[in-house]
Amino acid sequence: MTAPVTEPVAPKANLVLTPPGTERKPLTKKEIAADHPTWCPGCGDFSVLALYFKMIERRKLWQEKFTTISGIGCSSRFPYFVQAYGAHYIHGRSLPFASGISLSRPDLHVFVFGGDGDLFSIGGNHFTHTARKNIKLTCVAMDNWVYGLTKKQTSPTSPLGFKSKTDVWGAVDYPINPMKQAISAGATFVARTTSTNPNHLLQMMEAAMDHDGFSFIECLSECVEFYEGAFDAANPRKGGAFNLIPADHDVTNEVAAYKLADQPFPGSFGIFYKATKPTKNAREAGISAAAVEKAKGLKDWQILQKTFTAMK
Amino acid sequence: MSDSAVTNQTAGGPPKVSKINEAVIRIAGNSQDGIQAIGGFLARLAGRSAQEVMTFMTIPSTISGGPSIFQVRLGSGEVLSPGDDADVLLAFYQHSYEDHIGSLKQGGIVLYDSDHVEPKPEWQPLYHHVGVPVSNLTIEAIGGTAKDKGKNLFALGLVTRIFDLDVVKLEGLFGERFGGKDASVLNNALAAFRAGYNHSLGEVLETFKFVDSQGKAGQQVVMNGNDAIAYGLIAAGVRFGAAYPITPWSDVMEILRRELPKYGGSFIQCEDEIAAISMANGASFAGRVAVTGSSGPGISLKMEALGWAVMAEVPLVVVNIQRGGPSTGLPTQVEQSDLNLACFGSHGDAPRVVIAPADVEDCFYTAIEAVNIARKYNVPVFLLSDQAIATRIEAFAEPKLEQLCQDITPDLSPVADYKPYDLSSPDGVTPRVVPGTPILSGRYPIAGGLEHDEFGHPSAAPKLHMQMTAKRRKKLQALAATLPTPKVYGPPEGNLLLVGWGSTQGPIREAVDRARAAGDSVSALHIKYLNPLPPGLENIFSGFKSVRVVELNDEGLYGYGQLAGLLRARYCDPKIRGINKTDGLTWKVKEILEHARADMATGLQRK
C-alpha cells in the first residue's frame, strides 16, 4: 500500500449565479458565441450554429445544463464556437464519448454535431449501436456529401458519379442513406431538415432536444467550396422544392418512415419517425435503483465489506 | 514439501504422518471438470486457516474442454510463488498423467483416476502411484443421473485426507457455495466429498499435517487479481466504466457490471474497444474518473483515444490484463510484452502513467492509487496487470474498507473563473472544473484533441505547443518526484541485482532466497512505477556488478527486454541486461536461477 494522494483542490468560493429575488436571464447570442467560426463564407454550418444559439436562448439552457460534443471534420469544429462546456473528440467517436456523458450525468443535455464522414464512415459502427441502445442525446449530422476539411474527397454520402480527389472519374461506391441508416438501427427520433430553412431547422432541433431517447437529425448543409449547389434541388430560392412530409404520415410507423427515406432527392423534410421506448439511461438507472434499494441504506464501504466477508 | 520435522511411523501399522510447512498440489484434467473449483476451495480454506496460498492455472482458449491445470501451493510460512514442482499430482486422464508427471518431484505422490489412467511401468519406481477409481466411486456415491459430475469433490476429499485438512471448514465452504441452490446440489457435493475423504488410502504410505501457521493477525480475504482490481476500483470511488469483452480482462468487466449498480453506478458493454475508451473518456470528462480496460489487442485499439485523454488532460484509468502477443497471440497465457505499448503507445509526445501491481493484494491497492494519480494529475493511468495475477488466487489481510473507500463525486458549486490549461502552474497540474459547474466569468473550457491555448481553444502557435507539451510532461515529472525509491530485497550491494516488475516479484524473491541460501551474492529490486520511473534507481544499480532485468517478454534485438530497454535508455548503463522467456508461463524459480547462472558466469560467484 502506498501513501494516499492528496485531494485535488479546485478554486472554489461562495459564489452565486443570480442574486436572490432576481430572475435569471436566458443566454444572449453574445454570451453564447465563442470563437469566430473557421468555416468558409457561405457554408451551411453557420446556419446550424446560429439556430443552436437561438434554441439555447429560447429554451433557457444555461452553460451548466448542457454539453456540445463533436468528432473531427469541418462541422465538428462546432464546440469551439459555443461559449459553454464542450469537447472536440477524436474522429468518428463522438457518439460513444457523448454516451459516456449522457449515462453518467443525467442532469446534462448532450448535443452531438458531426459530418457525414465522421458519423457514417469512420463512426458508422458507433452510430448503429448508439441508436439501438437508445441513449438519450441529440445527434445532428451536418451532411454535405463531401469531405471538406481534407479538401474534397469522396464521403459515404457522396452520390455515384461525384468527382472528387479520390474519385477523379466520379464516385463508384453506393452512398449511405442516413435516414434509412437511423431508422433501421433503431433510432427513436429521426428527422430531416436543411440549413437553408432556419425555422424548420430550429423546430427540428427543439423537437429532438425534447425527445427522451436517441434523437437524430440529418441536416443538409452545403459545402460551398467543394460541393457547390449540391442541395439546390431542396432550396426554393435556387429553384428547388422544400417538401414537408405528408400530413397523413404516421411518425410511429417505421415502414412508412423507411419509405419516406427512400424518396429520390430532394425527398421530404420533417419528423420521419418517433417512438417511445425506454432509454438505455432509464434501464441502467432502473438496474441501479433496484440494486441500491436492495442494499438497504448501507454505506458504500459497508456494501463492499459484505462482498469481502463472503470471500473469507 | 519441506521439513519432515516430526515423523511417526509404525511398521505395518497406520501410514506415517509427517509435519510439513508447505505443499504444492497440481490438479490436472479438462477444463470442464471443475478442477478450478477444487483449487478455489483449497485457497479459501488456506485463507481461513491463516495460511498463505498462491495458485496457478492454465486454461485452454477453446470454448469448452481441453486440458487444464490448477496448481495450489499452501504454506504455513510465506508463499512467494505457486511452486516449481508439485508434491502431489492429481491426474484425471491419461493425458493429464503423461503431460504433468514431469512437474512432480521425484518420490512425489501421483494420485490418478484408475478409470481413465493406465500407469506407465517405467514411472512406477520414480513416483509413488496411488490409483483410485475416482469416476466410478463418484457415480456410486452420488447416484442418479449426475454421471461423474462431482468427481472434483471426490478428489478434493482424497486430498483432504492426505493433508489432514480441516473438514469442518471445507464443508462450511461448500455450504456457502452451494447452499443457495436446490438442496440436492449441496447434498451431492457433500456425498462426493465424503466418499473421497473416507476412501481407504491403504496404499498411501504417508499422510501429512501442516505445522501451525505463523499466525497472521486479523482476517484474510481470498480472491484472484482480477477480483482485486475490480473491488479496488470500487473502493477508489469509480462508479462508471465501459469495456468490450476479451480474455483475460473480461472477469473485471463482469464484476464491475454486476457490482457497480449497488453503488449507484454502471458499467457499459460497448460495441468495440474504441467505443469503450471513448465512453470512459466522456464520463471522465463529465466529472468522475472512469475506467476502461482490456487485454493486448484491445489496448492497441484504444491508443488514439488514450492520446486524447493526454491532450485534453482528462483523468482515466486503463486496465491492461496482459496476455501473449502480438496479434491474437496467446489469449490465455501470460506475457509482459505490453510495457512498451503502455508507456509509448499512441502517436505524438503523449506522457501517461504506468503502474504494475506485484501480486493479488497489490492489485487492490494499486487500483485505488491509479484512480488517485489520475485525479490529481488529470492524466490517463495504465494499470498493467497480467494473466498470471488475473487468474491466481491469494489470501491477504482484509483491507480496512471504512478508511479506504473514497467518495470522488465532483464538486459542481460555482467558480469565478477557470483556465483549464493554465500555464502558470509550475508543476503543470491544473485542478479540474467539470461540466455542470457555473463559471461566473462566462468563459467556459473546451476539451479538445487539438493543441490549444489556456482556455482550450485551438492554437498552433509554435511557442504554445512547446509550452503545452512541457506542461503535460512536467506533470509526470512532478509525480516522479513524489514516488518512493523501491527497496532492495537483500543486501544493497553485491554481484547481481535481479530487477523485475509486475507478477514476477514473488518468484524473483524466492530465487534470491534460494541463491543466497547457497551462498550467492544476489539481491532483487521490484519496480512498480514504470512510467515515470521512481528516483534513486541509479544509486541502487551502482551497488551491483551486474543488473539483470527478469521479464516475461522477448530478449529483443539487442539482448534485453522491454523494462531493461527503458532502464538502459534512462541510465545509459551497459551492465543492465535481460533474463527473458516467452513460453507463456510464469517464471519458475529454478528457471530464473538457471538463466542467471548461464547468462553470466561471473555474476553468481560465491562470496
Task: Indicate the domain borders of chain B.
Answer: 7-217, 221-404, 412-482, 488-599
Mean local confidence (pLDDT), B487-507: 96
The shortest CB-CB distance from A10 to any of B265, B401, B433 is to: B433
**CA nearest to B475, candidates B379, B566, B380, B382:** B379
User: How far is B534 from B525, CA to CA, in rounded Å?
Assistant: 12
Residues A38 and A84 grouped into a single domain = yes
CB-CB under 8 Å, A87 with B484? no
Q: What is the 3-state secondary structure (H, E, C) of B123-135?
A: HCCCCEEEEECHH
Residues A183 and A312 grouped into a single domain = no
Domain assignment of residue A306, yes or no: yes
CB-CB under 8 Å, A97 with B281? yes
Contacts of A107 in chain B (CB under 8 A): 436
Q: Which of B444, B451, B452, B526 to mutate to test the interface with A (most CBs of A within 10 A)?
A: B444
Q: Which three cell numbers stand for residue A199?
A: 425555422
Q: Are B496 and B577 in contact (CB under 8 A)?
A: no
Q: Which three cell numbers stand for residue B521?
A: 551474492
Give the start-end residues of each E strand in B302-388: 316-322, 353-355, 380-386
CB-CB under 8 Å, A67 with B440? no
Q: Which three cell numbers stand for residue A308?
A: 469481502
The residue of chain A with its CA nearest to that of B416 is A15
pLDDT, tens digit (0-9, with 9 covering 90-100), for B246-269: 999 999 999 999 999 999 999 999
Residues of chain A with pLDDT under 70: 1-13
Residue range B7-217, CATH number: 3.40.920.10
In sequence order, the 6+-apart residues with CB closer than 8 A to the CB of B172 are none
* Strand arrangement of the beta sheet that strand B220-224 belongs to: B128-132, B104-113, B86-91, B22-30, B67-75, B52-58, B393-397, B220-224
CB-CB under 8 Å, B271 with A15? no
Q: Are B72 and B41 in contact (CB under 8 A)?
A: no
Q: A26 CB near a chain B CB, below 8 Å?
A: no
The residue of chain B with its CA nearest to that of A125 is B271
Q: What SS3 state is found at A147?
A: strand
In sequence order, the 6+-apart residues with CB closer than 8 A to the CB of A302 are none
Task: Tell me whether the CATH fold assigned to B221-404 matches the one assigned to B488-599.
Answer: yes
Greater pLDDT, A61 or B52: A61
In terms of DSSP H, where are the helices of B86-239? 94-100, 134-142, 151-162, 167-178, 183-198, 225-235
User: How far is B242 from B322, CA to CA, in rounded Å?
Assistant: 18
Is it the case that residue B235 has pLDDT exceeding 90?
yes
Q: Which of B48-62, B160-174, B201-215 has the lowest mean pLDDT?
A: B201-215
Mean local confidence (pLDDT), B489-505: 96
Residues A168 and A103 grouped into a single domain = yes
Q: Which of B221, B224, B244, B271 to mutate to test the interface with A (most CBs of A within 10 A)?
A: B271
User: How far is B495 from B602, CA to CA, in rounded Å?
Assistant: 8
Q: A106 CB near a chain B CB, below 8 Å?
A: no
Domain assignment of residue A19, yes or no: no
User: How far is B515 from A162, CA to CA, in rounded Å?
Assistant: 74
Contacts of A126 in chain B (CB under 8 A): 271, 275, 278
Residues A283 and A179 grouped into a single domain = no
| Residues forming beta bridges with residue A216, ordered by sequence position | A139, A190
The shortest CB-CB distance from A88 to any of B48, B290, B449 is to: B449
- Give exposure, B248-262, as e/b (b: 16+ Cβ within 10 Å): bbbbbbbbbbebbbb
CB-CB under 8 Å, B221 with A288? no
Domain assignment of residue A22, yes or no: no
Domain assignment of residue A181, yes or no: yes
Cis peptide before A266 (omega within 30 of 0): yes
Q: How far is CA B307 from the centre of its chain?
A: 26
CB-CB under 8 Å, A312 with B240? no
- Give exposure, B187-209, as e/b (b: 16+ Cβ within 10 Å): ebbbbbbbbbbebebeebebebe
Is it the case that residue B60 has pLDDT exceeding 90?
no
Contacts of B262 in chain A (CB under 8 A): 291-292, 294-295, 303
The shortest CB-CB distance from B281 to any of A80, A85, A100 is to: A100
CA atoms lying within 13 Å on the CB side of residue B452: 24
Q: Which of B8-17, B124-133, B162-171, B567-576 has the lowest mean pLDDT?
A: B8-17
Task: Output the CA–CA distances (angstroms, integers) from residue B515 to B127, B163, B501, B543, B589, in the order listed.
Answer: 27, 29, 19, 18, 10
Indicate the pLDDT class of residue B202, thresholds 50, 70 and 90: low
The residue of chain A with its CA nearest to that of B278 is A97
Q: What SS3 state is found at B330?
A: strand
From chain A residues 248-307, the ones with a CB under 8 A of any chain B CB are: 284, 287-288, 290-292, 294-295, 299-301, 303-305, 307
Greater pLDDT, B452 or B218: B452
Contacts of A56 in chain B (CB under 8 A): none
pLDDT, tens digit (0-9, with 9 covering 90-100), for B292-321: 999 999 999 999 999 999 999 999 999 999
User: How far is A63 from B433, CA to CA, in rounded Å?
Assistant: 13
Residues A142 and A152 grouped into a single domain = yes
The shortest CB-CB distance from A104 to any of B288, B418, B440 is to: B288
Residues A240 and A109 grouped into a single domain = yes
Domain assignment of residue A9, yes or no: no
Q: A160 CB near a chain B CB, below 8 Å?
A: no
The residue of chain A with its CA nearest to that of B364 is A1
DSSP B464: H
Is it the case that residue B23 has pLDDT exceeding 60?
yes
Q: What SS3 state is found at A299?
A: coil
CB-CB under 8 Å, A11 with B278? no
The shortest CB-CB distance from A6 to any of B308, B376, B447 is to: B376
The shortest CB-CB distance from B220 to any of A86, A284, A312 is to: A312
In sequence order, the 6+-apart residues with CB closer than 8 A to the CB of B585 are B58, B333, B334
Task: Output the CA–CA distances (angstroms, integers) from residue B356 to A252, B232, B316, B364, B537, in the order listed.
Answer: 53, 14, 16, 11, 17
Give the start-end residues of each E strand in A118-177: 137-143, 146-147, 153-154
Q: Which of B446, B452, B459, B529 to mutate to test the interface with A (most CBs of A within 10 A)?
A: B446
Residues A240 and A113 grouped into a single domain = yes
The shortest CB-CB distance from A312 to any of B221, B282, B287 is to: B221
CA distance B237 to chain A (A): 9
pLDDT, tens digit (0-9, with 9 covering 90-100), for B406-459: 999 999 999 999 999 999 999 999 999 999 999 999 999 999 999 999 999 999
Domain assignment of residue A89, yes or no: yes
Q: Are B216 and B389 in contact (CB under 8 A)?
A: no
**Model confidence, pTM:** 0.94
In sequence order, the 6+-apart residues with CB closer than 8 A to the CB of B290 are A100, A104, B238, B240, B241, B242, B279, B280, B281, B282, B283, B284, B316, B317
User: How far is B220 from B49, CA to CA, in rounded Å?
Assistant: 9
Residue A4's pLDDT is 47
Name the one residue in this structure whose C-alpha cell is 410511429.
Answer: A252
Residues A231 and A185 grouped into a single domain = yes
Q: Which of B274, B281, B285, B376 to mutate to test the interface with A (most CBs of A within 10 A)?
A: B285
Of the options 3.30.365.10, 3.40.50.970, 3.40.50.150, 3.10.105.10, the CATH number for the domain spanning B221-404: 3.40.50.970
Is it the case that residue B606 has pLDDT exceeding 60?
no
Fold of the B488-599 domain: Rossmann fold (3.40.50)
Q: What SS3 state is found at B553?
A: coil
Residues A55 and A155 grouped into a single domain = yes
Is it the case that residue B599 has pLDDT exceeding 90?
no
Residues A145 and A157 grouped into a single domain = yes
Mean pLDDT score of chain B, rounded to an integer?
Answer: 91
Q: Which three cell numbers stand for residue B367?
A: 487500483
Residue A90's pLDDT is 98
Residues A173 and A296 grouped into a single domain = no
Residues A136 and A147 grouped into a single domain = yes
Q: Which three cell numbers stand for residue B331?
A: 489469449
ipTM of the complex: 0.95
pLDDT, tens digit (0-9, with 9 covering 90-100), for A261-274: 999 999 999 999 99
Contacts of A69 in chain B (CB under 8 A): 282
CB-CB under 8 Å, A304 with B405? yes
Task: Output the CA–CA distances (angstroms, integers) from residue B15 to A118, B101, B481, in the order listed.
Answer: 75, 24, 61
Domain assignment of residue A197, yes or no: yes
The residue of chain B with its CA nearest to that of A15 is B414
Q: Which of A107, A133, A301 to mutate to test the interface with B (most CBs of B within 10 A)?
A: A301
From chain A residues 31-70, the ones with a CB under 8 A of any chain B CB are: 31, 34-35, 62-65, 67, 69
CATH of the domain at A212: 3.40.50.970
Domain ranges, residue A300 = 279-312
Is it the case that residue B603 has pLDDT exceeding 50?
no
pLDDT, tens digit (0-9, with 9 covering 90-100), for A94-116: 999 999 999 999 999 999 999 99
Q: Are B105 and B163 in contact (CB under 8 A)?
A: no
Number of folded domains in chain A? 2
Q: How far is CA B453 from the centre of its chain?
A: 41
